[in-house]
Amino acid sequence: MSDSILIKNIRAVDTKIDMVTDVFIDNGKISAVGKNLNFQADRIIDGTELVLMPSLFDMHVHLRDPGFTHKEDVLTGCNSALAGGVTGVLAMPNTKPPCDNPETIRYIIDKAKDTGVEVYPVGCITNGMNGGGLCDYEALKNAGCICISDDGRPVENAEYMRQALELSNKNGLLVASHCEDLSIINGGIMNKGETSEKLGVKGMDRASEDYITAREIILASSVNARIHICHVSTEGSAAIIRFAKSRGIKVTCETAPHYFLLTDELLEKRDADYRMNPPLRTSEDVRAIIEGIKDGTIDCIITDHAPHSSEEKADFEKAPNGVVGLETSLGATLTALYHTGEITLQKVIKLMCVNPRKILGLEVPEISDGKTADLIIADINRKWTVEPDKLHSKSHNTVFKGMTLTGKNLMTISKGVIRYENL
């Protein structure tokens, strides 16, 4: 049983409220919200100048477990999530073996069960995640899967993708797409443009992302199914999704903090920690992603947390793509969007807490009587410098290394239990 917690004089914010109040948590639930509460509690917290909000849900992470546990495992990934204020994640299927079978799904869920993080393994769309025919979706769903994707690579066969989308109307699984045309990418390692030409390295043409984004939307529309577009990074993709939404097509999408905060000019350092897929783009793309967030085109902010060892990241041109992000996502989002006046704090909560859970059909935490106490306490004005070696992940390949961010999670409460604390 969880201890009782009384939080005094805190600014409580969700999508319905924004007020300074007291909050009493008992037996895993929010028992009371109001001024001058006087309950006996095992723990009393002074929340003056701090913010209480629902915990984050990251619907795009790579836990690397099973098969690549030198980079990350379920336990270290969950520790990193809790430090960042995240109590729920979708774990992508490019593990070894891939998540194309019930045994792997159950292994991940079982390993995460005592961490305080709800881990939902994503099942593969195709067997082996290599286009070798469709998986047994009913078996994956029965094992605990709520989403399918071949993330890490696209589904190259459009008919397989169309069939998966058609089946999703029957089985209720969300289909999420990594939008990339491998024939267009053809070995590119960063955004194709001025910086790639300056460095003399092969670039990734934005047509790769835009083309498959359009393909997925057309396929979803043809069978009246939902489609979720992963890690949107280009002005073109945002425009395509905006148009599709205006036509009533059931498309949702996500982006990551590095796509609205950083540009490909950072690659001039020839440091592979700034390489991910899709890659950092241009300042025009950054502005387009911000506008997409503001006007509702983009539904969620995720991290695409993708750990790699320092040895793997040592060679700029040969290193694998990916960056860690679970512990920096809140600070980066507050820095880039809230403190610049682009969006409100309630909009941040909608993007990082509410919409991911709604898209997946999960319970959305609120700060009200009787609700599950999945909460974080943050200092939204605290300035802190990102030091890779202090992150809880096994890997330290953060694109924000050395940057000063404004806004930091100080406490994570999962189902009424304090799972992380740095007050």
Distance separating alpha carbons of residues 145 and 106, to the nearest angstrom: 9
pLDDT at 3: 85
Mean pLDDT of 350-367: 98
Q: Is the sign of the CA dihedral 415, 256, 50, 84 positive or negative?
A: positive
CA distance 168 to 314: 41
Report the candidate in 360, 182, 366, 189 with the shortest Cα–Cα distance to residue 274: 189
Provide CATH code, domain 5-52+369-421.
2.30.40.10
User: What are 88's strand-pairing partners?
Assistant: 57, 118
What distance in Å separates the CA atoms of residue 32 and residue 326, rounded to the nearest whole number?
A: 30
Predicted confidence band of residue 2 (pLDDT cuts 50, 70, 90): confident
Q: Is the pLDDT of residue 408 over 90?
A: yes
Q: Which of 151, 181, 304, 374 is catalytic?
A: 304
The predicted pLDDT at position 1 comes to 55
CA distance 262 to 43: 40
The answer, yes or no, to whether residue 56 has pLDDT greater than 80, is yes
Angle at 146 between CA 175 and CA 133, to 5 degrees: 50
pLDDT at 205 over 70: yes
The pTM of this model reads 0.97
Tokens of 31: 């028992």
Phi, psi for 161 (deg, rounded to 5): -65, -40
Task: Express each pLDDT in 301-337 by its tens digit.
Answer: 999 999 999 999 999 999 999 999 999 999 999 999 9
> pLDDT tier at 145 (50, 70, 90 boundaries)?
very high
Report the CATH number of the 55-360 domain: 3.20.20.140
Cis status of the peptide bond prior to 97, with omega within 30 of 0: yes
pLDDT at 330: 98
304 a catalytic residue: yes
Q: Give mean pLDDT, residues 340-344.
A: 98
Domain 55-360 in the same topology as domain 5-52+369-421: no
**pLDDT, tens digit (0-9, with 9 covering 90-100), for 73-119:** 999 999 999 999 999 999 999 999 999 999 999 999 999 999 999 99
Residue ranges per structural domain of the chain? 5-52+369-421, 55-360
